[in-house]
Amino acid sequence: MDTGAEGVLRATPVTVDLDTVLEVLAKGDLEITGRLVDASNATLVGTACLDGVEVVCVHKPTRGERPLWDFPARDLSQREVATYLLDRAAGWDLVPPTVWREEGPYGPGMAQAWVEPGPGVAAEPGAGLVDVSAPGRLPAGWHAVLHAEDARGRPVVLAHADDPDLARMALLDVVVNNADRKGGHVLRGRTPVDTADKVYGVDHGLTFHEEDKLRTVLWGFAGTPLPAASVEDLLRLDGALDGELGGRLADLLPPEAVLVTRDRLRALLRRATYPHPGPGWPSLPWPAF
């Protein structure tokens, strides 16, 4: 698997129940074996081990976060955990199992189960669902997001598949106000809880901002009605925000961020359509991959 990682441990996936995986990630002994060298913040790879169960994971210690002008310092890892909790409450299972660790080799931070392509499957940026190609080579049914030119002046198009997992991921990004959904943040593979490859989204540190900062490569759904099943998911999520989920998010995020998230969700339900890009903020992440 070509991930830009140094010393990433390869392991044959073994299915483990979710509660066990979360406990191992949160409390297991964590041995760092490598790092993702292209990541902007310290993104380490290692193995968490507890009671004989090992889980390969990504670890992002808070001390390795670069200061940003528009996000509070040293809380991006907490936003990643918050995104996982919200995704799980919605029933989408688009974010790999993710926990907050109080202790680690470099201090506290988040740990997330590694997404490994299944046997014989090569990893590719965008998981075969998001791509940049010549306009004439765009697969049938794909949504064009941006027409541009490459370094040689040839026309290209940024596009994504009309895929139900991507449609749910686009909703997740709206609710958590994801400011950085790059194509490379869409993966296809499996974690220890999976028996087959599935679509996952990763890198959710730039989320839950009080101001509208949605930047995504998944704008192809803009303006289309929300599927009935997604409306049901959002209604369930709305109830969860008034209950246990709201309390857990309050332990990870500033109070205003939780309130604005609830408001954003309810506005989405009132519109019942995927939003269009708004003014005053770049709508696409850079680079797109």
The CA-atom distances, in angstroms, between 10 and each of 5, 59, 63, 118, 148 are 11, 16, 26, 12, 38
Angle at 119 between CA 115 and CA 121, to 5 degrees: 75
Give tens-digit pLDDT for 64-78.
787 777 777 778 999
Give tens-digit pLDDT for 181-216.
999 999 999 999 999 999 999 999 999 999 999 999
Give tens-digit pLDDT for 111-142.
999 999 877 776 777 888 999 988 888 888 89
* Per-chain mean pLDDT for the chain: 90
Cβ–Cβ < 8 Å for 110, 99: yes
Give tens-digit pLDDT for 86-96.
999 999 999 99
Q: In what order do the strands lie in the sheet with 130-133?
A: 130-133, 155-160, 143-149
What does the alpha-carbon distance between residue 74 and residue 106 come to, in Å, rounded to a whole number? 13
